[in-house]
Amino acid sequence: MTDFAATRAAFDLPEGVIYLDGNSLGVLPRGAAARVERTIRAEWGERLIRAWNDAGWMTQPARVGDRIARLIGAPAGSVVVGDTLSIKVYQALAAALALRPGRRIVLSDSGNFPTDLYIAQGLLDTLGQGHELRVVAPEEVAGAITGDVAATLLTEVDYRTGRLHDMAALTRVAHEAGALAIWDLAHSAGAIPVDVTRAGADFAVGCTYKYLNGGPGAPAFIHVAPRHAAVARPALAGWMGHEAPFAFDAAYRPGAGIERMRVGTPPVIALAALEAALEVWDMVDMRDVRAASLRLSERFIAEVEAQCPALELASPRDAAQRGSQVSFRHPHAYPVMAALIDRGVIGDVRAPDILRFGFTPLYLSEQEVVRAAGVLATIMRDEAWRDPRFQQRQAVT
Amino acid sequence: MTDFAATRAAFDLPEGVIYLDGNSLGVLPRGAAARVERTIRAEWGERLIRAWNDAGWMTQPARVGDRIARLIGAPAGSVVVGDTLSIKVYQALAAALALRPGRRIVLSDSGNFPTDLYIAQGLLDTLGQGHELRVVAPEEVAGAITGDVAATLLTEVDYRTGRLHDMAALTRVAHEAGALAIWDLAHSAGAIPVDVTRAGADFAVGCTYKYLNGGPGAPAFIHVAPRHAAVARPALAGWMGHEAPFAFDAAYRPGAGIERMRVGTPPVIALAALEAALEVWDMVDMRDVRAASLRLSERFIAEVEAQCPALELASPRDAAQRGSQVSFRHPHAYPVMAALIDRGVIGDVRAPDILRFGFTPLYLSEQEVVRAAGVLATIMRDEAWRDPRFQQRQAVT
């Protein structure tokens, strides 16, 4: 059993705040600041260039990748960390398309995070080979996987509503149609149990600054199924993905397996924070996290619906169909959230009318969730959001 | 006049080391560790998601870019920071090729850093439109810029020999042939005076962990000449390069000017270290750095050549033809460098036989350079490098 008092003690939480935005930016793990300081002062400062070898900087992307692999059901050696999620989406999709040269359709859905769609469209435009990005409604994906689809590009948990795709079922449909399945786990890794192996995913990507608490702008990850690892073509053929980076050969030869998905020099300082953040997960069983997450989110929905008739649930009502967030709609979502943040309850907003609340059992208690709902109820009842102070839209990521 | 005692005091240098490898990884600026700690504890830890706005995280890539712009002769608003150099090379070349749709040749030289060549080849393979990467000897570049060249992709300072290309002259030749000029400033920014505007460069890219001291794996930069900024097509169309990232539109619309070259979520912690590192440059006039760099490197060459007949100068003898590094050849370069590092003089090696020494006047004195040459002379005279301890090859970046 996961000891959630112990996990909570592993984080530095600010005073006077109930944080329901760990689905956007996770909180600070106690070990991260000290680890980064050590990396900066003792490794960079003292060892300088020698630290590439003697502090293990060069092997860090795969070492950190292995920690993530465990959380998403991937075998060791099949995940590597670096760059941003956008870049990793580009790599995964480019590799998938090269494996399906005769097909011209990339299938995604309108609930996907925009950067996935932008990156896909940018890649297809760059290819200039008549590929089409076909975007359907989330519930129409299964029926749209026709024999001309090269790859599906789907985010398992919808960033706006928390709606959960059935990864295993959709992957099966994709494979039956001869397509490859790419899964974006941005809102899944550390949020819900994930098993890319059992689901048969071909590629998976994700970010580490949400539920994994890697820090603002922490590097992303990519998983390539072992059956593709030796043949996947890295479109972003950077030197760190070369079979022998320090041979400085004129010609590129892709590295063994997942190593080829590395691109440039690894972001050592960011990786130090992420590595410390991932150590917290040694204490965690994802099934316990799922159970606690559902308990927290069900309680939040019940409290809000009982007290705030003006808010409309935007997430699936069936807990099994949700990730670890709950969203409500309100025509004045922005000022409502501004008023809520002003009173120490932090969630965020997605255009045009979505209030988002993330549930992170590692550091969030049921009592706090009940208190947060109470604060929200007070704001709605008093219409506190009409205060001119809260009328300015704030962009939050 | 730059006060080099003051700049030296801005760095934390390890005891007992003479560091001649700032061309690979710059040393730790005193302000960087404290700045990162503040970003982690006070911004991430306390402000959490709110820090995207109130700590200025969202605008940091352009703000830091402006600091670099000043050092490379680029106007404010024409440089943005993020990703790695490999990614920025990809973006620059993809944008350049889209501006020259009728041409199929990318011209580079055999002295270019391999990742530039790998990334270029990877892009051309991805395009699949019959482009050719033509690689000639560095001294043959000018003559090889024919009317079918879409873009030249050159690194101003050769990473092995320190040989300096004439950026203005080659750019002029490129433009006369109707080609675009992309310059990699990895070994130029902070090393020598650079003026991309006067040279007429179309795109410039570089890394920040060498002479700029941004830290291991610090993010890269890209400059787009203002005349191209509104039309350059970002092949890596990430959400942070969108005109309105938080509108979450289904369709990508490139941001204004250089903003479109942003890709994913910015690496906030790494950017904090880099921003602190760049503040040191407020004290610096690049002309003084150049004069001091030449004084240090000329002295080093004179000392080594007087004392080490077995070492052959691999850099141009004419100081005007060099960047801020000096290289020597020796058939046993690896063990020689290992012996040198063992005695506290840190340089590095490039396959197969190059000993590299970087000169960084911000924190390196002439006295140290003379001492370093003396240690090298002792090792060569005693053949100390034959010690079995030094026979293992070490990869250093």
Of B51, B217, B247, the CB nearest to A265: B217
- Is B145 a residue whose pLDDT tops 80? yes
Compute CA distances A110 → A168, B53, B171, whole Å: 20, 28, 45
pLDDT tens by residue, B345-369: 999 999 889 999 999 999 999 999 9
Q: What percent of chain B has pLDDT over 70?
A: 99
Q: Identify the band that residue A391 occupies on the pLDDT scale cut at 50, 70 and 90.
A: confident
Name the residue among B263, B166, B152, B394 with its Cα closest to residue A118.
B263
CA distance B160 to A265: 18
Which of B11, B203, B209, B363 is flagged as catalytic?
A: B209
Minimum mean pLDDT range among A75-89, A215-229, A247-261, B191-205? A247-261
Q: Identify the band that residue A397 occupies on the pLDDT scale cut at 50, 70 and 90.
A: very low
Instruction: Give just the sign of the alpha carbon dihedral B322, B326, B328, B332.
Output: negative
Q: Identify the band that residue B397 occupies on the pLDDT scale cut at 50, 70 and 90.
A: very low
Can you tell me which residue has the tokens 């100081």? B319
So what's the pLDDT on residue A346?
98
How high does pLDDT run on average in chain B? 96
pLDDT tens by residue, B25-36: 999 999 999 999
- In this structure, what DSSP letter does residue B254 have? B
CA distance B76 to B81: 13
Q: Identify the band that residue A263 occupies on the pLDDT scale cut at 50, 70 and 90.
A: very high
Compute CA distances B239 → B20, B51, B114, B251, whole Å: 40, 19, 29, 10
Annotated binding residue at B116?
yes
Can you tell me which residue has the tokens 């990318």? B106
So what's the pLDDT on residue A393?
60
Cβ <8 Å between A397 and B123: no
- Is B391 a residue whose pLDDT tops 50? yes
Domains of chain A with CATH codes: 4-29+285-390 (3.90.1150.10), 58-282 (3.40.640.10)
Rounded to a whole number of angstroms, the distance from the CA of A159 to the nearest CA of chain B is 11
List the structure tokens of B34: 């404290």
Question: Mean pLDDT, to the nearest integer, of A139-156?
Answer: 98
E strands of B157-250, at which residues? 180-184, 203-206, 220-224
- Is A5 a residue whose pLDDT tops 80? yes
- Is B87 a residue whose pLDDT tops 60? yes
Question: Mean pLDDT, to the nearest integer, of A295-305?
Answer: 98
pLDDT tens by residue, B248-290: 998 999 999 999 999 999 999 999 999 999 999 999 999 999 9
pLDDT tens by residue, A314-342: 999 999 999 999 999 999 999 999 999 99
So what's the pLDDT on residue A351?
86
E strands of chain A, at which residues? 11-12, 18-19, 28-29, 79-82, 105-109, 132-136, 149-155, 180-184, 203-206, 220-224, 312-313, 325-329, 345-346, 348-350, 354-358
CA distance A184 to A258: 17
Go through chain B and tell me how many residues it has.
Answer: 397
Cβ <8 Å between B114 and A49: no
So what's the pLDDT on residue A394?
55
Q: Active site includes B184? A: yes
Of A41, A216, A247, the CB nearest to B33: A41
- Taking phi first (over 0 means left), then psi (-120 to 50 degrees means alpha), and beta for anything else, what does residue A48 get? left
Name the residue among B31, B3, B14 with its Cα closest to residue B214.
B31
Q: What angle do CA B23, B364, B113 make, to 5 degrees?
A: 10
Provide CB contacts within 8 A for A282, sequence distance 6+. none
Rounded to a whole number of angstroms, the distance from the CA of B306 to the nearest CA of chain A is 28
So what's the pLDDT on residue B231?
95
CA distance B99 to A156: 37
3-state secondary structure of B384: helix
Name the residue among B60, B100, B72 with its Cα closest to residue B232.
B100
So what's the pLDDT on residue B393?
60
- Is B395 a residue whose pLDDT tops 60? no
List the structure tokens of A103: 């097909």
CA distance B74 to B89: 18
Rounded to a whole number of angstroms, the distance from the CA of A58 to the nearest CA of chain B is 9
Question: Mean pLDDT, to the nearest integer, of B9-29?
Answer: 97
So what's the pLDDT on residue A257?
94
**Set of chain B residues whose Cβ sits within 8 Å of the Cβ of A51:** 216
Q: Please name the residue ranges forming H helices in chain B.
A: 4-9, 30-38, 51-54, 60-72, 85-99, 114-127, 141-144, 167-176, 196-199, 226-229, 268-279, 286-307, 333-342, 366-382
Q: Least CA distance to B219: which residue of chain A?
A: A267
Of A121, A250, A269, the CB nearest to B273: A269
Q: Least CA distance to A353: which residue of chain B?
A: B247
Name the residue among A6, A30, A20, A3 with its Cα closest to residue A215.
A30
pLDDT tens by residue, B281-316: 999 999 999 999 999 999 999 999 999 999 999 999
Question: Mean pLDDT, to the nearest integer, of A64-89?
Answer: 98
Q: What angle do CA B386, B392, B394 make, to 5 degrees?
A: 125
- Taking phi first (over 0 means left), then psi (-120 to 50 degrees means alpha), and beta for anything else, what does residue B11 get? beta
So what's the pLDDT on residue B351?
86
- Is A4 a residue whose pLDDT tops 70? yes
- Is B125 a residue whose pLDDT tops 70? yes
Question: Mean pLDDT, to the nearest integer, of B13-21?
Answer: 96
CA distance A357 to A19: 9
A30 CB-side CA count, 13 A? 10
Report the binding-site residues of A for pyridoxal 5'-phosphate: 85-86, 113-116, 155, 184, 187, 209, 239, 265
Name the residue among A302, A390, A312, A382 with its Cα closest to residue A354.
A312
CA distance B291 to A390: 56
Q: What percent of chain A has pLDDT over 70?
A: 99
How high does pLDDT run on average in chain A? 96
